[in-house]
Amino acid sequence: MSKSHPNPQDPRLTVAAAREHLLTTLGPVAGWECVAIRDALGRVLSRPVIAPFDVPAHDNSAMDGYAVRFEDLAGDGETALRLVGTAYAGRAFSGIVGAGHAVRVMTGAVVPSGSDTIVVQEVTRVEGERVVVPPGQKRGQNLRRAGEDLARGKPALAAGKRIGAADLGLLASLGVAEVTVFRRLRVAFLSTGDEIASIGNPLGPGQVYDSNRYTLHAALSALGVELVDMGVVRDEPELIEHAFRTAAASADVVITSGGVSVGEADFVRELMARLGEVRFWKLDIKPGRPMAFGRIGDAWLFGLPGNPVAVMVSYAQFVVDALLRLMGVDPLPPRPLFEVPCDDAIRKNPGRREFPRGELYPGGGGWRVRLAGNQGSGVLRSMAEANCFIVLDEACGNVAAGDTVSIQLFDGLF
Ligand code: AMP
Ligand code: MG
């Protein structure tokens, strides 16, 4: 089958095409609620927040020093000004700064009326009732102007913004106690496989413990979605169908792992196609080639591969941004790539995008990357040791030791 003419029965997509498909198909869930700002951390604004007043509300001093009238200062020598009072942050000077006067000011104090310039304390000298200011001051220096951060009536935060620490602080600085956010996304997830045991049970012959449900639990918790853990489902079509129907009836998104290949016991894709609709399932990617995306009823469905590393790669490259879009995040966060030299040679066939795991570390006066351990798609240890993906795109062939490669940090993905 030619890559350039995908067979609709067996579509193969590039990573970019699959992402494009997902991100153009998905949009924010309907439904919103008002929450106190502390509870808004990680949530997404469904309405902009408008500044109710100027920030800062008044012209104020950016430094500890003296408020003066610029016109009083000599251009070429020292100027002695008479001290007439003090302005503290939160306690303004009540008088007016007249000709030849100065007022002692603290950082954050409202600029005393009549003055237009702040001279920093360090350059001045106090002589009794007078302060001596050296030449070379600039009109309007060391002031923070009213409305400089934010003008009243302007959007302080846009709809689609996911609330982080700085946003919480900004909201508080505006006196905003509550915000309107999209309702929490409900995500059901389950593992499939006869060989998959849940922790707490002894391992039978040929069994492995379920790790995918735990990596997914961790990644989804970090996203702040509502979790519906549906456990392990055995490779029996009736059981998987029942789990799918139950999950799809209650969740916005259903994420499964395992059973999406073409093995004898791989029922996920077939069931998705029967119960709903499959949008694609073969990607030019390694690891993580088989992945189903589709719909059952009102729920979106992601059928991830079974191999633990493949699960994390598919999650990072497709699922996380798809979920953010469903959560209402707009624009999506950038996923920057950085170019660094790679210590190790990497075998790579052109034609697909590969995501070996790497460890970015400081070395030789800059940052470098090295392969993190065994790169098998079932070897989670290499993921645990790594802090980035090395991203080798479709056109790339073998990498020689010392070549420059692109890396994508795990931060913000898991
Ligand atoms: P599958 O795609 O179902 O054939 O699974 C591929 C490989 O991933 C097999 O070796 C499975 O045992 C393994 N695997 C599948 N699901 C899990 C899981 N939840 N936790 C750990 N390994 C898994
Ligand atoms: Mg399986």
pLDDT for the residue 9? 57
* Residue 33: how many other CB atoms lie within 10 Å: 14
Question: Average pLDDT for residues 344-364, to the nearest whole number?
Answer: 96
- Residue nearest atom 6 in ligand 1 by C-alpha distance: 306
Distances (CA, A) of 59 to 16, 144, 175, 360, 375: 49, 6, 19, 45, 58
Question: Average pLDDT for residues 154-182, to the nearest whole number?
Answer: 97
Atom number in ligand 1 closest to CA 212: 19
pLDDT for the residue 269? 85
* Residue 158: how many other CB atoms lie within 10 Å: 12
Would you give the DSSP letter of residue 316?
I
Query: Closest Cα partner for 215 from 294, 66, 114, 316?
Result: 316
pLDDT for the residue 278? 85
pLDDT at 190 over 60: yes
Residues framing ligand 1 (Cβ under 6 A): 191, 193, 195-196, 208, 210-213, 257-259, 261, 263, 305-308, 378
Query: Closest Cα partner for 62 from 181, 183, 148, 159?
Result: 148
pLDDT at 2 over 70: no
- The best mutation among 307, 311, 312, 381 to test binding of ligand 1, ranked by most ligand atoms within 8 Å of the C-beta, falls on 307
Mean pLDDT of the chain: 95
pLDDT at 10 over 70: no
Helices marked H in 96-236: 165-173, 212-223
Q: pLDDT-based confidence at 7, cuts 50/70/90?
A: low
**125 burial type by CB count under 10 A (0-12 exposed, 13-18 middle, 19+ buried):** exposed
pLDDT digits (tens, 9 = 90+) for 288-325: 999 999 999 999 999 999 999 999 999 999 999 999 99
Spacing, Cα 144 to ligand 2 middle (Å): 62
* Residue 311: how many other CB atoms lie within 10 Å: 29
- Provide the sign of the torsion angle of the four alpha carbons 326, 328, 329, 330, taken in this order: positive
pLDDT at 186 over 80: yes
Q: Distance between CA 69 and CA 198 in Å, rounded?
A: 75
pLDDT for the residue 1? 35
Q: What single-letter amino acid sits at 156?
A: A
pLDDT at 11 over 70: no
Question: Average pLDDT for residues 151-179, to the nearest whole number?
Answer: 96
Q: Which of 45-49, 199-203, 327-331 has the lowest mean pLDDT?
A: 199-203
Q: Distance between CA 210 and CA 21 in Å, rounded?
A: 30
Q: Distance between CA 414 and CA 408 in Å, rounded?
A: 12
Ligand at minimal distance from the CA of 291 is 1
For helices 320-327 and 212-223, give the axis angle rounded to 10 degrees.
40
Atom number in ligand 1 closest to CA 210: 20
pLDDT at 286 over 80: yes
Atom number in ligand 1 closest to CA 211: 20
For helices 15-25 and 320-327, give the axis angle rounded to 10 degrees.
20
Gyration radius of the chain's alpha carbons: 30
Q: pLDDT-based confidence at 4, cuts 50/70/90?
A: very low
Question: Which distant-in-sequence residues (6+ apart) come within 8 Å of 216 by Cβ?
Answer: 189, 255, 257, 311, 315
Ligand at minimal distance from the CA of 308 is 1
Spacing, Cα 150 to ligand 1 middle (Å): 52
Q: Distance between CA 315 and CA 357 in Å, rounded?
A: 14
Spacing, Cα 249 to ligand 2 middle (Å): 24
Domains of the chain and any CATH numbers: 12-31+184-327 (3.40.980.10), 33-53+154-182 (3.90.105.10), 60-144 (2.170.190.11), 338-409 (2.40.340.10)
Atom number in ligand 1 closest to CA 263: 4
Atom number in ligand 1 closest to CA 192: 16
Predicted TM-score of the model (pTM): 0.91
Question: Average pLDDT for residues 382-408, to the nearest whole number?
Answer: 97
- The best mutation among 192, 194, 196 to test binding of ligand 1, ranked by most ligand atoms within 8 Å of the C-beta, falls on 196
More confident residue, 52 or 263: 52
pLDDT digits (tens, 9 = 90+) for 52-108: 999 999 999 999 999 999 999 999 999 999 999 999 999 999 999 999 999 999 999
- Phi/psi for 12 (5° steps) reads -115, 130
pLDDT for the residue 8? 56
- The best mutation among 201, 203, 207, 212 to test binding of ligand 1, ranked by most ligand atoms within 8 Å of the C-beta, falls on 212
Q: Distance between CA 226 and CA 251 in Å, rounded?
A: 9
More confident residue, 280 or 111: 111
